[in-house]
Amino acid sequence: MPKSISGFSKLTKDEKINWIASTHFTNAEEATKTIKKYWNSDTDLQKLHDEFIENTITNFYLPFGVAPNFLINGKNYTFPMVIEESSVVAAASKAAKYWGSRGGFKATVLNSEKIGQVHFIFNGDTERLTAFFNQIKSKFFSETQSITKNMQKRGGGILDIELRDKTSELENYYQLHATFETKDSMGANFINSCLEQFAKTLINEALQSDVLSEKEKNIEVVMSILSNYVPNCLVRAEVSCPVAELVEKNIENPQEFAEKFVRAVRIAEIEPFRAVTHNKGIMNGIDAVVLATGNDFRAVEAGIHAYASRNGKYSSLSHAKIENDIFTFWLEIPLALGTVGGLTSLHPMVKIGLEMLEKPSAHELMQVVAVAGLAQNFAALRSLTTTGIQEGHMKMHLNNIINQFEVTDSERILIKNHFKTNTVSHSAVVDFIAEFKR
Ligand code: HMG
């Protein structure tokens, strides 16, 4: 059977599965059975999911967990979290409970500006291009009126458009660099539609210009697209309390804990190898809530990591200090999120996630997501600087290890009881099972 195919997209779902199963699997029947086992028996629901993307053959489950007890700016939340990794939800829950009794989290949206660019090539005099741009600038606004009128009613729209000269980096390269306010939508479609109209306006106006020379009138638009780097769409999340109040199980000496914690954050600030793992821990919380609320985690990831490198070296997204015996831990991240549009009104579990958060505005969701990142980072750093990460993580991961073996319910209880007081590792579980099966 050839391993490439023309017209695959035109096949029915069953035909697609047959081709895949017979082409790529040694046991085609078994593969087909597994693929179809994950179909939803509710055919309308299945159709909805099939149509989210192209060439859908089945569903891929991820657990939808919840972390209660998040107190943010005096309001209680239960976080919906979609993630495959054990111990993340437990860690978030534990951090929520811990900070809930120490004043909770404070979160602030610092600004919410989105960015889009028309990248174009202009072969001519920069001063004349600038004069031309200033002459036609208002046309970019007027010719996008049909796209922007609804957004304007909601208080958003195009904020500004600048001409940027990038010729020192690439020959004849300029940009229309536009900023937008998109209120409760992430704004990708809105921004891209505006940008494509800007590009048309730019080309048409250039052809009719009395400022540009004949040669300069042939502006070449390379592309028009939003930027997922949104350093002016920022949210800050913070926790703080007197150092003495940090005391808890495994934190018998709060001063020592606070100092070690601050040093651990400092290491992530100066050492990129550590910063990447440190920020990965933050993304455990961020991605889980972003996914549960139907937002674009790839855009969020790309934007946040670019922000972590903004000073020329990849660094920690979070920071910590002790000042006047007060411990403060905070992060500041760029987040372009939506609570309307996209999957938010389509995916039934996204609707559940958003309703669980009591239908937040985009600003409120930015605060929730930033707090999820900070809480996760706190939990990981607390473990790392006290017991080590493996104790708690492996305790949560134990079920996954046990599930790799055939054990009865009573054997499962026996294993769990044994590992309440013994260190969990894959080999320790294997040895223990082998011992009692002997
Ligand atoms: P513990 O102290 O053993 O938990 O912590 P506990 O049994 O005393 O329970 C305390 C609270 O924790 C509970 O309160 C829950 O809120 C939560 P309660 O509900 O009883 O009122 N909790 C749970 N929630 C749901 N299901 C559970 C559960 N157990 C406790 N089964 C814990 C155990 C795992 C929470 C702790 O050890 C911890 O926070 N560890 C950190 C785990 C972590 O960060 N995991 C992320 C994966 S590792 C990683 O990828 C990131 C990393 O590389 C990042 C970095 O390097 O910075 C580490």
Question: pLDDT tens, 60-80?
Answer: 999 999 999 999 999 999 999
pLDDT tens, residue by residue, 342-360: 889 899 999 999 999 999 9
pLDDT given at position 391: 82
pLDDT tens, residue by residue, 86-113: 999 999 999 999 999 999 999 999 999 9
Q: Is the pLDDT of residue 57 over 80?
A: yes
296 tagged catalytic: yes
Mean pLDDT of the chain: 96
User: For 120-129, 181-190, 349-358, which range has the lowest pLDDT when averaged over its residues?
Assistant: 181-190
Across residues 146-154, what is the average pLDDT? 95
SS (H, E, C) the chain: CCCCCCCHHHCCHHHHHHHHHHHHCCCHHHHHHHHHHCCCCCHHHHHHHHCCCCCCCCCCCCCEEEEEEEEECCEEEEEEEECCCCCHHHHHHHHHHHHHCCCCEEEEECCCCEEEEEEEECCCCHHHHHHHHHHHHHHHHHCCHHHHHHHHHCCCEEEEEEEEECCCCCCCEEEEEEEEECCCECCHHHHHHHHHHHHHHHHHHHHHCCCCCCHHHCCEEEEEEEECCCCCCEEEEEEEEEHHHHCECCECCHHHHHHHHHHHHHHHHHCHHHHHHHHHHHHHHHHHHHHHCCCCHHHHHHHHHHHHCCCCCCCCCEEEEEECCEEEEEEEEECCCCCECHHHHCCHHHHHHHHHCCCCCHHHHHHHHHHHHHHHHHHHHHHHHCCCHHHHHHHHHHHHHHCCCCCCHHHHHHHHHHCCCCCCCHHHHHHHHHHHHC
Sign of CA dihedral 134, 205, 145, 227: negative
Q: Whose CA is nearest to atom 25 of ligand 1?
A: 90
Which amino acid is it at 401? Answer: I
User: Could you tell me the distance, in angstroms and rounded to a whole number, from the CA of residue 86 to the centre of ligand 1?
Assistant: 9
Q: Is the pLDDT of residue 134 over 70?
A: yes
Size of the chain in residues = 438
Q: Is the pLDDT of residue 224 over 90?
A: yes
CA-CA distances (angstroms) from residue 30 to 17, 57, 88, 108, 245?
12, 15, 33, 52, 57
Please name which of 224, 200, 113, 222 lies closest in space to residue 160, comparing C-alpha atoms: 113
323 tagged catalytic: no
| Catalytic-labelled residue, pool 50, 184, 196, 296 | 296
pLDDT given at position 1: 64
Whether 298 and 188 have beta carbons less than 8 Å apart is answered as no
pLDDT given at position 398: 86
Q: Whose CA is nearest to atom 6 of ligand 1?
A: 94
pLDDT tens, residue by residue, 395-435: 788 888 888 888 899 989 899 889 888 888 889 999 998 88
pLDDT tens, residue by residue, 41-53: 999 999 999 999 9
94, 99, 263, best to mutate for ligand 1 pocket (most atoms within 8 Å of CB) = 94
| Catalytic-labelled residue, pool 85, 125, 245, 269 | 85
Q: Which residues pair with 227 in a beta bridge?
A: 115
Question: Which residues does a 6 A CB cutoff place in the pocket of ligand 1?
Answer: 85, 87-91, 93-94, 97, 277-278, 280-281, 284, 379-381, 383-384, 389, 392-393, 396
Cβ-Cβ contacts under 8 Å for 264 (sequence gap 6 or more): 381, 384, 385
User: Could you tell me the distance, in angstroms and rounded to a whole number, from the CA of residue 354 to the centre of ligand 1?
Assistant: 24
Tell me the whole-structure pTM to 2 decimals: 0.94
Per cent of the chain over pLDDT 70 is 100
64, 93, 398, best to mutate for ligand 1 pocket (most atoms within 8 Å of CB) = 93
Q: Is the pLDDT of residue 296 over 70?
A: yes
Q: What tokens appear for 173 in the block?
A: 């390269």
pLDDT tens, residue by residue, 381-400: 999 999 898 888 787 888 88
Q: How does residue 293 score in pLDDT terms, banded at 50, 70 and 90?
A: very high
Whether 294 and 342 have beta carbons less than 8 Å apart is answered as yes
| Catalytic-labelled residue, pool 280, 313, 426, 437 | 280
Q: Whose CA is nearest to atom 13 of ligand 1?
A: 94
Q: Is the pLDDT of residue 2 over 90?
A: no
Q: Whose CA is nearest to atom 54 of ligand 1?
A: 281
Q: How does residue 236 score in pLDDT terms, banded at 50, 70 and 90?
A: very high
Q: Is 413 left (phi over 0), alpha (psi -120 to 50) or beta?
A: alpha
CA-CA distances (angstroms) from residue 337 to 81, 230, 241, 287, 358?
16, 11, 30, 12, 16
Per cent of the chain over pLDDT 90 is 86
pLDDT given at position 394: 80
